[in-house]
Amino acid sequence: MRSSAAGLKSTLSSLPLFAKTGGEIIFAKASTLFTMVHLAIFVSGSGTNAENIIRYFRGSDRISTDLVLSNKEDAYALVRAKNLGVATAVLPKAEFNRKEKLLPLLDSFNIDFIVLAGFLLMVPDFLLEGFDGKIINIHPSLLPKFGGKGMWGHHVHEAVKAAGESESGMTVHYVSAVCDGGEVIARFSFPVLPSDTPDDIAAKEHVLEMEHFPEVIEKVVSKKFNI
C-alpha cells in the first residue's frame, strides 16, 4: 500500500516546479505543492456526521473527502455520500479485517487520513500500522467516562442519565488498539439537567458534533500534513 507520505510525494512529482509567463520563469512556492489531503470516512449508520464533513470540506483546496466506507450495505450514510458525489464502498466485517481487501481499496483512492464517524467495528492492527496517527474517532461522551465495549449511540446517553451526571459531551480522539482508549484530541461539553431524558442528552450532544467535529478534523489534518 502506498503510504500517505508517498501519496503526497507523487502529487509533488506530478506538478511543474516552474511556470513560464510573459517571458519570465516563475518558480512555484513549496507550500503550494502539498495542497490536498484525501480523507476516507468510515461509518455504520445514518451518516449525519459524514454528510456534515463532506459539506464542510466541499470546495477546499487542501482537504477532500474521497471515500465513504461502511460495513453495512443498508447504511443511509452511503445514500448521503452518493447524493453529494462522493464514492462509496461496503466491506462487511470479514472483508474489512482482511488486509488484501481493505488496503488496496484505500490505496485506489489515495487515502491519507481516516475519520471514524459512527463506525462500530474495531480497527485492525494492520490499518493502525499503515495509518499510524492518522485515524481519529468521535465518541458521544466525555471520555474516559462511558467509553469502551458496548458504549455507542443511545447506550451512552442512557448510561449518562442513569449515572446522574451533571454534564456530558463529545470527544474526538486518536484511534488505538484499545476501544475508545486512544489519545484525546478535544472534548466539548454541555450541562445535563435533572429533567433531561436520554433523548434530550442525545440531541444536545448531536449539536456539538455538528458544530465542532469538522473543525477538529481540519485542525488535526492541517497540523499533521503541514498544510
CA dihedral 74, 78, 82, 83 (to 10 degrees): 90
212 is catalytic: no
What are the beta bridge partners of residue 19? 26
- Of 139, 154, 155, 206, the catalytic one is 139
Of 111, 187, 108, 110, residue with least CA distance to 147: 187
Residue 71, all three cell numbers:
460495513
Contact 192, 201 (CB under 8 A): yes
User: Strands of 37-43's sheet, edge to edge?
Assistant: 87-90, 63-70, 37-43, 113-116, 135-139, 167-174, 184-191
**What residues act catalytically?**
139
